[in-house]
Amino acid sequence: MDSKYYVNNTYPQSQVPAEIRDESLDRFISQRSSILRSKLEILKQEVLARFAIKKKNLDRIREDVEKINDNMQKLSAKAFYIIDSAEKNEFHKLNHKSLDMEKEKRDQTASCWNDVVPVMRDLLNTWEAHQQSSARAQLLKNNGLEEVIDENYLGDGGQPLEQ
């Protein structure tokens, strides 16, 4: 027997009660929508988690830079007035470390966006699939394309809308 003519191997397609077809379709659409909503929520959480990681890392870097700047302030007077001193060498090391920390801040921001862009792409693709699934469900629930066309393209009194 050819399976395209049977649903659940119990009734020929033409003999399947409309209620069973409607219930199966509703169940399928509901499951698909539920899966897509779950995926959207997971992707949203991934994006939010990555931004939280970025914030946490930038806060730590900011604290480290503040400590370095405080130490540089303590050394700055001695470092500028004494030509060859350990303080001057320490001041330069701290200055380089401060610059490295600023570079790390920029790297963190770039890394965050590198992580987020693919997730956002997945999020948009999933949202699009969800919207398409909803549109298909609406189309099928409206008993086909004719009612949707009539609803969208005919004005009052059944007259075609002017463009």
For the chain, which residues make up each domain, given as ranges? 19-120
C-alpha dist (Å) from residue 31 to 24, 27, 36: 10, 6, 9
Percent of the chain with pLDDT over 90: 29
Report, in angstroms and rounded to the nearest whole number, the Rg of the chain calculated over CA atoms: 32
pLDDT in tens, 77-119: 666 676 667 777 888 888 899 899 999 999 999 999 999 999 9
pTM: 0.59
Higher pLDDT, 148 or 110: 110
